[in-house]
Structure 1
Amino acid sequence: MNTQQKELITATVPLLRTSGEVLTNYLYKRMFEHHPELKEIFNMGNQANGRQKSALASTVLSYAENIENPSVLLNILKGIGNKHVSLNVLPEQYSIVGTHLLASIDEVLGDAATPEILEAWKIAYFELADIMTGLETDMYNENKNKTGGWIGWRKFKIGKITEESAEVKSFYLYPEDGKAIADFAPGQFLSVQVFVNDLGIVQPRQYSLSDSFNGEYYRISVKREANTETNPEGMVSNQLHMAKAGDVINVSPPMGLFKLKENTEHPVVLISGGIGLTPMLSMLHTVKNNNRKNKTVWVHGCRNEAVHAFKDEVAQLNSDAHWLESLVFYDQDHTVAKNAISGRVDLHAHKDTILLENASYYICGPELFIKAQYQSLIALNVNKENIFYEEFGPQLIGLN
């Protein structure tokens, strides 16, 4: 890409800031009309609620803003690549998206989309596609070469289902072929693929692994998303909650950048809201199995005791482990249940417990929860380099 073409890309930044979501919304509609098979790769729930178009618009804008040095986006691109590999995205699908992106720019911008701008975006997009396919090829090869590793979808049988709360069930997934399974870092996720009756197609979803690696099965824990004014019913979560032991689902290899630091003796503070506790459980059990037994603080907030998943599991660990301290908050239960604090998670009120020398802080939960806890830690003078967070769904938060 030459200097003039980079300047043309930069010149489109103001328009992307104001109309980026209009463009990406048009892109998805156009692409799905021509390639309805891609609906089985994309999360149609996030298509319906607009989160996917927002995430893509943000990525396109960031790329345009950093066209002189796209390497600054490497961590963002690695995160996208992890998601793509978990969905078995193929290089030829980048060509499909590119074709419809360029057509959308032309059709949405009209006269503003000059031949020179279209050519500049064509070169820019396919340079980005080359970066992404290179990253993803390395990830596919790493998965393939792992002991028990594989590429794409593999059949797993649900061996056991346990109820963890009024909203959450755990699914124990065993490989149908009986062969070895790949290990994973605590905090990573699996993609699963199930047939959704209401849509008549298969749909993928990502669920964090909620236990440490054991070599026999994977455990994921799924919240059934009910229909509310602000959140549509979860198509896949509801389908999974109707599953039975013995059912078979497709699973892709463990992926994800959100993971516990390896080989460290420093303290760990795990901060979760609602179903955001699942990757933290994997981290907690891994620390339990670690001979060093890092000092660990478990901070969890949820609505009330009925929806408090894994309450007994964590309480048992807390009673047995001198290295673990637990703080639980119920924001809708003001009767102050046993071993719980009434109100929302308040890190300032418990700073003496959570502010530990050289600690790493991990946050997972809803978007507003993550932002609130991150800002609290910054206000408490925690170095942002020691704060890590995971946002479920399309990545819309940029804090570090």
Structure 2
Amino acid sequence: MLSQETRDIVKSTAPVLAEHGTTITTEFYKTMFEAHPELLDIFNHANQSQGRQQAALANTVYAAAVHIDNLEAILPAVVQIAHKHVSLGIKPEHYPIVGEYLLKAIKTVLSDAATDDIINAWGEAYGVIADAFIGVEANMYEQTEEKENSWRFFKDFKVARKVKESEIITSFYLQPADGANVPEYQPGQYISVRLSIPGEEHTVIRQYSLSQASRPDEFRISVKREADNDPNGVVSVYLHKEVNEGDTVEVSAPAGEFVLDESKTTPVAFISGGVGITPMMSMFETVATTTPDRPTVFLHGARNEALAAFQDDIARQVANMSHVMYQTFYSDEPNGFITREVLERFIAKDSDVYVCGPVPFMEAMIRELHNIGLDEDQIHYEFFGPSVQLQLS
């Protein structure tokens, strides 16, 4: 437990963190990677180069300062981040390294303003927060390993099939290289794929939603190819161009808490934009095969028909359902957007709604769902990438 004095000091630094947080976290990552370049095998280099990871960490540190009297308030964020840590293979021994260089960065950026009392208080606070992450992640690792056919960290998988779903999305069907089955997973979860790409100094890891309902023998991920010159496109371009059937990739066990509540039979709606359709495919297929009478709506936004993936798959599932409405909206066409009027027409007031897509799309959808009368606990979403604050007002 932190002393009242420590908590008061940490809270008093919140305004400073709001002003200098990203500068501190930028200094932190720079000096940590200089001292421990092996950690670059874990972190997303594109997020680093674009400053997104620095901003995400700054938001997390600021939230910890604001809620230091009641750290349970940030527990949902801890759990969400812990899922990502587990899928990346983060270990307890990484936390002292992070703590050391975070405190050094605070001291460097704030200079004389970072008194010994402030550094010591943040050292104590970091220890408590790190212990929380370590405990949550240890429990997750244990639960993962207890599942039949599961494993810890990474395992070799072979690409059994490679299927083009649209002009920019390709599916990879992955099977364990040792011939074993895969663990059952919840619809909406994701896996991490780790690759050694020629010309890249460090291994790269990306997280991809599992895009079909749980099957005993395989995973399916569906990857959008980014532009060749996009820093975010290094892995997706390599997967599309260089990884073929029979090749081997390293895969983590499924993780994530943006999942379908399978216990419910009340109306459910899935709203996706672009490649945000991938976790929805797992959820939608699960509903279609386990509760086909459940009232279901699926609304998807794409730029045009050539970029809309899974249309045939969705049609096959729709044919087996008794109470379903599906519609794709093409933004290149007149009236091709999912508007408030569309939501009012399709979404029942007692629905649970799952939303995934680009951040502006998600912000608009969540805002309009609130505007048509849905409560916060009816709307389920997760931003895929470094944690950010969605602007919903």
- What is the TM-score of this pair, normalised by structure 1? 0.95
Partner of residue 341, structure 2: 348
> Which stretch shows the higher mean deviation, 193-202 or 384-393?
193-202
Partner of residue 339, structure 1: none
Distance 2:16 2:343 in 1: 45
Question: Is 1:370 paired with 2:369?
Answer: no
Does the 8 A contact of 2:265 with 2:291 survive in 1?
no
Alpha-carbon distance change, 398 to 333 in structure 1, aligned in 2, over 3 angstroms: closer
Question: Is 1:114 paired with 2:106?
Answer: no
Alpha-carbon distance change, 280 to 347 in structure 1, aligned in 2, over 3 angstroms: farther
Partner of residue 262, structure 1: 262
**Per-residue deviation at 1:390?**
1.8
**Per-residue deviation at 1:392?**
1.3
Partner of residue 30, structure 1: 31
The CA deviation string for residues 67-91 of structure 1, in whole angstroms up to 9 with x for no partner, is 0000011110000100000011000
Distance 1:302 1:197 in 2: 33
Partner of residue 133, structure 2: 132
Q: How many residues align?
A: 390
Question: Is 1:382 paired with 2:381?
Answer: no
Question: Is 1:71 paired with 2:63?
Answer: no
Q: Which amino acid aligns with 1:241?
A: H
Partner of residue 87, structure 1: 88
The CA deviation string for residues 35-83 of structure 1, in whole angstroms up to 9 with x for no partner, is 1110110000111111111110000000000000000111100001000
The CA deviation string for residues 1-60 of structure 1, in whole angstroms up to 9 with x for no partner, is 211111111111111111100110110011110011101100001111111111100000
Unaligned runs of 5+ in 2: none
Does the 8 A contact of 2:292 with 2:322 survive in 1?
no
Does the 8 A contact of 1:227 with 1:233 survive in 2?
no
- What is the TM-score of this pair, normalised by structure 2? 0.96
Distance 2:234 2:152 in 1: 25
Unaligned runs of 5+ in 1: 335-341
Alpha-carbon distance change, 294 to 198 in structure 1, aligned in 2, over 3 angstroms: farther
**Per-residue deviation at 1:291?**
3.9
Question: Is 1:308 paired with 2:308?
Answer: yes
> Which stretch shows the higher mean deviation, 304-313 or 31-40?
304-313
- 1:157-236 alignment runs, 5 A limit: 157-226=158-227, 232-236=231-235
Does the 8 A contact of 2:288 with 2:320 survive in 1?
no
- 1:277-292 alignment runs, 5 A limit: 277-291=277-291
Partner of residue 386, structure 2: 394
> Which stretch shows the higher mean deviation, 345-354 or 176-185?
345-354
Distance 1:346 1:319 in 2: 26
Does the 8 A contact of 2:158 with 2:247 survive in 1?
yes
Distance 1:381 1:217 in 2: 40
Identity across the alignment (%): 39
Partner of residue 239, structure 1: 238
Does the 8 A contact of 1:265 with 1:292 survive in 2?
no
SS at match of 2:196: strand
The CA deviation string for residues 275-333 of structure 1, in whole angstroms up to 9 with x for no partner, is 00000000011011114531110010011111111122213333443322112111123
Alpha-carbon distance change, 310 to 128 in structure 1, aligned in 2, over 3 angstroms: same
SS at match of 1:328: strand
Distance 2:390 2:68 in 1: 18
The CA deviation string for residues 374-398 of structure 1, in whole angstroms up to 9 with x for no partner, is 0000000101111000211112135
**Per-residue deviation at 1:233?**
4.5
Distance 2:293 2:236 in 1: 34
**Per-residue deviation at 1:357?**
4.4
Q: Which amino acid aligns with 1:239?
A: Y
Q: Which amino acid aligns with 1:258?
A: F
Partner of residue 328, structure 1: 328
The CA deviation string for residues 147-197 of structure 1, in whole angstroms up to 9 with x for no partner, is 111101000000000000010000000001111211110000001101133
Does the 8 A contact of 1:87 with 1:191 survive in 2?
yes
Distance 1:31 1:348 in 2: 50
Distance 1:233 1:52 in 2: 13
Distance 2:3 2:108 in 1: 25
Distance 1:206 1:47 in 2: 16
Partner of residue 360, structure 1: 352
Alpha-carbon distance change, 91 to 233 in structure 1, aligned in 2, over 3 angstroms: closer
SS at match of 2:203: strand
Q: Which amino acid aligns with 1:348?
A: E
> Which stretch shows the higher mean deviation, 130-139 or 387-396?
387-396
Does the 8 A contact of 2:228 with 2:237 survive in 1?
no
SS at match of 1:221: strand
Q: Which amino acid aligns with 1:323?
A: H
Partner of residue 124, structure 2: 123
Q: Which amino acid aligns with 2:342?
A: A
Distance 2:48 2:292 in 1: 44
